[in-house]
Amino acid sequence: MRKEINFKVDDILKFKAALLEWAQQFEEIVWLDSNEHETRYTSFDALLAADALTSIISDSTDAFMNLEEYQSRTKDWIFGYLSYDLKNDVENLTSDNFDELDFPDLFFFQPKRIISISGTEVCFKYLNMVSDEIETDFKSVLGLKTVPTVQEPSVVPIRIRMRIFKDEYYKRVHRMLAHIHRGDIYEANFCQEFYAEDTEIEPLETYQQLNAISKPPFATYLRLQNQYVLSASPERYLKKLGDKVISQPIKGTARRSSQRDEDQRLKSTLQHDEKERAENIMIVDLVRNDLAKNALKGSVTVEELCGVYSFEQVHQMVSTVSAKVKANEKPVDIIKHTFPMGSMTGAPKVSAMKIIEELESFKRGVYSGAVGYFAPDGDFDFNVIIRSILYNQNKRYVSFSVGSAITAKSIPENEYEECLLKAKAMREVLEESRKG
pLDDT tens, residue order, the chain (436 aa): 999 999 999 999 999 999 999 999 999 999 999 998 877 798 999 999 999 999 999 999 999 999 999 999 999 999 999 999 999 999 999 999 999 999 999 999 999 999 999 999 999 999 999 999 999 999 999 999 654 444 444 456 789 999 999 999 999 999 999 999 999 999 999 999 999 999 999 999 999 999 999 999 999 999 999 999 999 999 999 999 999 999 999 999 999 999 999 999 999 999 999 999 999 999 999 999 999 999 999 999 999 999 999 999 899 999 999 999 998 999 999 999 999 999 999 999 999 999 999 999 999 999 999 999 999 999 999 999 999 999 999 999 999 999 999 999 999 999 999 999 999 999 999 987 654 4
Q: What is the three-class DSSP state of 97?
A: coil
- Decide if 233 contacts 386 (C-beta within 8 A): yes
pLDDT at 432: 78
Q: What is the bridge-based pairing of β-strands 244-248 and 250-255?
A: unpaired
How far apart are the C-alpha atoms of 195 and 271, rounded to whole Å?
A: 33
* Catalytic residue from among 125, 251, 336, 354: 251
- Decide if 187 contacts 279 (C-beta within 8 A): yes
* Catalytic residue from among 235, 357, 415, 418: 235
How far apart are the C-alpha atoms of 266 and 248, rounded to whole Å?
A: 22
pTM of the model: 0.95
Phi and psi at 387, nearest 5°, equal 50, 50
251 catalytic? Reply is yes
121 catalytic? Reply is no
Under DSSP, the state recorded for 342 is G
pLDDT at 156: 61
Per DSSP, the residues of 252-312 read EEEE--SSHHHHHHHHHHHHT-HHHHHHHHHHHHHHHHHHHTTBPTT--EEEEEEEEEE-S
Determine the distance from the C-alpha atom of residue 86 to the mean position of all C-alpha atoms in its chain, rounded to a whole number. Answer: 15
How far apart are the C-alpha atoms of 346 and 84, rounded to whole Å?
A: 13
63: left (phi over 0), alpha (psi -120 to 50) or beta: alpha
Burial 22-35 (b: 16+ CB within 10 A, else e): bbeebebbbbbbbb
| Host H or E run for residue 423 | helix 412-432
How far apart are the C-alpha atoms of 382 and 219, rounded to whole Å?
A: 11
User: How far is the CA of 150 from the CAs of 204, 209, 227, in angstroms?
Assistant: 11, 10, 21
Closest listed residue to residue 357, CA positions, set 98, 60, 58: 98
Question: Which residues are CB-neighbours of 396 under 8 A, at least 6 positions away?
Answer: 197, 198, 199, 200
